[in-house]
Amino acid sequence: MDLFEYQARDLFEAHGIPVLAGAVASTPAEAKSAAASMGGKVVVKAQVKIGGRGKAGGVKLATDPDDTFAKAEAILGMDIKGHTVGKVMIAQAAPIKEEYYLAILLDRAAGTFLVMASVAGGMDIEQVAHETPEKLARVHVNPAKGVDLALAHSIAQQAQFPEAVQEQVAEVLVKLWACFVAEDATLVEVNPLVQTDDGRIIALDGKVTLDDNAAFRHPDHESLIDHGATNPLEALAKEKDLNYVKLDGQVGIIGNGAGLVMSTLDVVAYAGERFGGMKPANFLDIGGGASAQVMADGLSIILNDRDVKSVFVNVFGGITACDAVANGIIQALEILGSKATKPIVVRLDGNNVIEGRRILKEANHPLVEQAETMDGAAARAAELAAR
């Protein structure tokens, strides 16, 4: 789960990372009130979960509360790379002397954690990493040891931070690691980490991604969820403990196992080219237990997607045999009743496939037809969706 900047700022503050005063506002009037309470110049910052806000005009300096009202009015409702701005953060303006960069993330390729640090922070950090990688220190962290003050000092030196700020940067890095671990994050990033004119080191902007798989350890993270931006079908699937991602196609997909479902997406996309560009409408992995209720939940979610024109159920029987899957499909359709209205192409293979196919054939449900091969089933589902 990606957090808004104001949420990241609050987490940083809770873990002792130096930040400036900030408040979130949903209306220009709220923004004006926040600016009045802070006094002095403020920065009005669009709250969207995507980079490039500054270059898109989503970050503006305001000189007084009335100017804050005007700047917030201009930013609220703005479209930034497909994201509509519904909130702004009002932050104290800081006299910036230098801009730096710090980040801790999960390096999946290396199977461990990675700290990145640079004295060339700011809006163009991606360009710095690409064109002058020597300016970006990259240090892998032993999870058992973490980031202590000694390692933090070493990283600050490797990144060539000025000696005058190395102590402060090291302290921030230790606290950033504590935040990363305590909150079960996969990314914590400060860009920019600034040195002010009076020599202070402050986290001016933050990005945090939390591990959804650790949500059970953090009931307090529930308040961080942006329900307004969550796809309602994805929210329903989460309630049912189903692994579902909404896509932009017309062929609903149900499969067991992430690998099989990913392959199914590719096969459907390829087959769909012959039928008007039909594409997969979703990723839905029902896992190993294809019970009637699980199948009903999966079908219900897909059939509630108005973009779906047909459904492709692609199951390879393993621990759960194909006859159990077939019974689950039939029972699921009975549970759904009149809510099931779209054609369903079923491809079964693996453990007890003959019995599974027999069950579906004898049931003779008007919405269900079978295909023996994955390619054939994908083509048929795409054809039905194109009608």
Q: What are phi and psi of 369, to 5 degrees?
A: -135, 150
Distance, CA of 50 to CA of 42 (rounded, Å): 22
Question: Residue 210 is inside which H or E element, if any?
Answer: strand 206-210
366 residue type, one letter: P
270 is catalytic: no
End-to-end CA distance of the chain: 38
224 residue type, one letter: L
Helices (DSSP H) in the chain: which residue ranges?
Answer: 5-14, 28-38, 65-75, 125-131, 149-158, 163-182, 232-239, 258-272, 292-303, 322-336, 353-363, 374-386
Question: Which residues are registered as beta bridge partners of 185?
Answer: 210
Selection from 27, 80, 90, 32 nearest residue 58 by Cα: 80
101 is catalytic: yes
DSSP 280: B
List 6, 100, 101, 244, catalytic entry:
101
List % helix, strand, coil for the chain (3-state, nearest 5). Answer: 40, 25, 30
Burial of 36 (0-12, 13-18, 19+ CB in 10 A): middle
List 5, 189, 244, 383, catalytic entry:
189
Q: Which residues participate in catalysis according to the annotation?
A: 101, 189
